[in-house]
A and B are shown apart, each in its own frame.
Chain A
Amino acid sequence: MERKSTVMIAAVAVAVAVIAAGAFVVLNGGGNDAGRNATIASELQIRGNANDDYTIDGEDMAILEDIIAGGKSKEDYPLADVNGDGNVDETDVSLLKDLIDRKSGTSVYVICLDRDGNTTSVEVTYPLRNVVPYGTNMQLPLLYANGGQYVAGYFVSSYGVAEASIAASAVDLEGNQRSISDASWSKFTALDGSTEGGLGAILVDYSGISQITDKRMGDLEEAGIPMICYESADATAEITTVLTLGFLLGGDCETMGVEYAQTAWNIVGEIKDKLGDVEEKDRMHYICCTMYIYVCGESSSFNTSATTAGGISYASVNPEFASKYTKNSTKMMSTDALSNFTDADIIINNRSMDWGLTADDMKSLIIDTWDHDNGGVSSTVYFAKFLDRLVYIDNLLPGAVKLAYMAHAMYGDIFSMEWADGVLQTYIGMGTLPLKGQTADTVLAYIDVDVYNAAVA
């Protein structure tokens, strides 16, 4: 009987692991991002999450015990190796027990990216405290997990409302969105020295990894500051980032992270299910843009997000476009830059827009976005042949909300605006602090030509 139960549990665990891994790979698409994370596919990016679900609990312990007893193979459960030493043994069991008990001071091995974009494990101490995020795409996930209270310092905070939950005591290290000056870095290392117990970790969005130079990596190693890096600009990676950071911070943050991620996976599943019957030929070919007139290359996180929302990257069907726009983002240097690609179905333009808007703010922001002045030339000139196929989506929103609006933009007859607004409302109601106090009327989530025309009317 006992053996039967063990076999059944093992079978279920294997099935869950296979489905979760498959879902992760599918949802991440076939681009570079998927390749980087393919080694270990996990919802919760923590060693010890043996069954590859959203938390660490007794089910993971059961798998470890089975592996040690010889009932399961450790190769089938790569996350069962809690300390990443290549073996699954009593040390792992002991560590996992402490993790299940959420014991303070426990070493946690976080699966993330290294500077080269390869999967690695980084040791941090549970619960994670005194963190310093770098990059909006990492800062927001931290705040979505309600982790603002644990921010010891930040390099830049450009969005007063969305990032209001950063601890009042956090030190402004005076970097900027795209770079960390030597002076800022010095403030960061000084902060480590002045913080009791030192900094818990630096959290880096992979798109800003160039700022963590070899020398700075050496500084981190010397000071014993772990670097947790994710390509969190991608909507699906953002979901796992919130879940993982929530777990590391513990307590209410873990609860929030789980709710945030489970809701998101449900949205992703819903999109996938509803598009299941849409044939390949009927799928929308999208071009993603950012910063008004920068065109995203195929490997851009914006592209992988749009693919998750059911679209097909225009770069994947037009080699000329793919060969021109190879970087994550390339500025359009002429107003006819997209003139040879007008057969793309839709332009999804990603713009970070803060919240807490009044009706007048909303109107101004819509007009400023649509008619944005790019050094004397309106954005509409660059997109003249796409104005009825151009949408702007707020990049600050939770990943699942962005996916919902992308799905609406591409398949409006399947995913209504009301449905996408409902996803936003779900996250507002969830209690995640960046959206606290917001309503659908104070957040400008989506702009298309109709929204613009209504604003200027």
Chain B
Amino acid sequence: MLLSLLAVAAFFLTLGSGVYRISVAHAVEVFFDHLGGNISDADGDYYIWELRVPRALGAVITGAALSVAGAIMQNDFRNPLAEPYTMGISSGAFLGAVLSIICGISVVPFVTGTAVTMVNAFLFSLIPTAIIVLISRFRKMTPAAMILTGVAIMFLFSSICQVIMVTAPSESLADAYMWRVGDIGRVFWSSLPLMSGATAVIVVILYSMAGKLNVMYAGDRAAMTLGESANRIRIVTLVLVSFLTASVVSYTGTIGFIGLVGPHVARIFVGSDNRYLIPASAAFGAAFILLADTVAKVSGVNGLPVGVISSMVGGPLFIWILVRQRKSAWA
């Protein structure tokens, strides 16, 4: 509840933050004016309604999705370092984006314009999970093997990206780097239906599996004794998490650390019961990315990508959590 209130407060705060000069109070007024169909400040309405509101909603969705994805992964693999990106999802998405930004390649022929990067990133981010699922059909994979496979794919994709980037012109190289860092400024109203729809549906499905996820938390043998196939649940949730992550990362780029840190912070407040951990992770992730983006928008000459701020804050925060944690949550 506290985290949810924080997220709402951060939403209104971020409307007044950015290069375009407007007070928080006036920005909120413009927001409600638009909702009421009473637009008196055309410029303000454009910058608040067309740019900042979808951006803020994008931050909420992105933070929530990545944080929930991290919570599920850490639970599935009983590994405090697991997060969506350790499975190669981010490097897959980045390879797709690089193919579009630097090479001008659209993997889906009829897709053109600014949608190419998004579609490429979305499809490529699913490849690592697809490989893991494929392998697991023929050979039983332990959680550790799954993670290591993801890490191997991550390195493979990263090296391909590096080869492409070494010979890239500086302009497209800068664009690719910006994408890699992650920026909520790429989220517009047109992005939200897919982002919010996919996130809502998948988070609800995952939440409905909270009981089974709690069983997973007890270990594979314990799950088996309760009649659940830990491997099957792991594969299903891994596929869901991949789609969840891909649906936001393909728009925003790879925003670091929230998938790792979000669940840890939420766990401090609500413990490891997934019935509480999933919503708490979502609320913290939403608030964290909103606040990070609020800071990012007023940093540098004319703003910085949120990924820079989230990693800058997330890194020390993670160390602080590790130092302060008196007993391991994974014991």
Complex contact B20–A375 (CB within 8 A): no
A334–B170 touching, CB < 8 Å: no
Bitwise, B111-136 to A at CB < 8 A (1) or not (0) is 00110111000000000000000000
A340–B170 CB distance below 8 A: no
Nearest residue (CB) in B for A294 is: B171
Whether the pair A333, B303 counts as a contact (CB closer than 8 A) is yes
Residues B169-202 near A (CB distance < 8 A): 169-171, 174-176, 178-179, 183, 185-186, 188
Chain A: minimal CB distance from B58 (Å): 12
A residues in contact with B43, CB < 8 Å:
339, 342, 385
Which of B1-9, B145-153, B155-163, B294-302 is the contact stretch?
B294-302
Complex: chain B residue closest to A339, CB-CB: B20
Q: Are B302 and A378 neighbours in the complex by a CB distance under 8 Å?
A: no
- Segment of A47-55, A281-289, A323-331, A391-399 in the binding face: A323-331
Q: Is the interface of A mostly helix, strand, loop or mixed?
A: loop
Q: Does A176 contact B (CB under 8 A)?
A: yes
B114 contact from A330, A335, A378, Cβ within 8 A: A378
**Which of B19, B46, B171 is the one whose CB lies under 8 Å from A337?**
B19
CB of B112, distance to nearest CB on chain A (Å):
9
Using CB atoms, name the residue of chain A closest to B304. Answer: A333
- CB neighbours (8 Å) of A336 from chain B are 18-20, 47, 51
B326 within 8 A of A: no
Cβ B171 vs Cβ A334 within 8 A? no
Q: Is B97 an interface position by the 8 A CB rule?
A: yes
The answer to whether A339 touches B47 (Cβ under 8 A) is yes
Partner of A377, one of B116, B167, B185, B302: B185
The minimal Cβ–Cβ distance linking B39 to chain A, given in whole angstroms, is: 16
- How extensive is the interface on chain A, given as a class? 20 to 34
B161 to chain A, nearest CB (A): 14
Select one of A178, A335, A339 contacting B185, CB under 8 A: A335
CB–CB B186/A377 < 8 A: yes
**Please, which residues of chain A bring their CB within 8 A of the CB of B300?**
333
Q: Does B251 contact A (CB under 8 A)?
A: yes
Distance in Å from the Cβ of B21 to the closest Cβ of chain A?
A: 6
A176 pairs with B170, CB closer than 8 A: yes
The binding surface of chain B is classed by DSSP as helix
A376-B113 in contact given A176-B170, A334-B303, A336-B18 (Cβ < 8 Å): no
B115 to chain A, nearest CB (A): 9
Residues of chain A within 8 A of B169, CB atoms compared: 158, 176-178
Distance A398 CA – B303 CA, assembled complex (angstroms): 36
Tell me if A430 counts as interface (CB < 8 A to partner B): no
Which residues of chain A come closer than 8 Å to B154, judged between CB atoms? none
Q: Any chain A CB within 8 A of the CB of B305?
A: yes
> Are the C-beta atoms of A371 and B113 separated by less than 8 Å?
yes
Closest chain A CB from B159 CB (angstroms): 19
Q: Is the CB of A376 within 8 A of B117?
A: yes
Q: If A337-B302, A339-B20, A384-B46 touch, does A373 touch B116 (CB 8 Å cutoff)?
A: yes
Q: Which residues of A contact B47 (CB under 8 A)?
A: 336, 339
Q: How far is the CA of A334 from the CA of B183 in the complex (A)?
A: 9
Query: A176 vs B172: C-alpha distance in the bound complex, in angstroms?
Result: 13
Q: 13 A–B contact pairs at CB < 8 A?
A: A176-B170, A330-B301, A333-B178, A333-B300, A334-B18, A334-B185, A334-B303, A336-B18, A337-B19, A339-B21, A373-B113, A375-B178, A376-B114
Which 4 pairs show the lowest CB-CB distances between chains A and B?
A334-B303, A339-B20, A337-B302, A375-B175
Q: A373-B101, A378-B113, A385-B43 are in contact. List 17 more A-B contacts (CB 8 A).
A: A177-B170, A292-B171, A333-B178, A333-B301, A334-B18, A339-B21, A340-B20, A340-B21, A373-B113, A373-B117, A374-B175, A375-B178, A375-B186, A376-B251, A378-B114, A381-B51, A385-B46
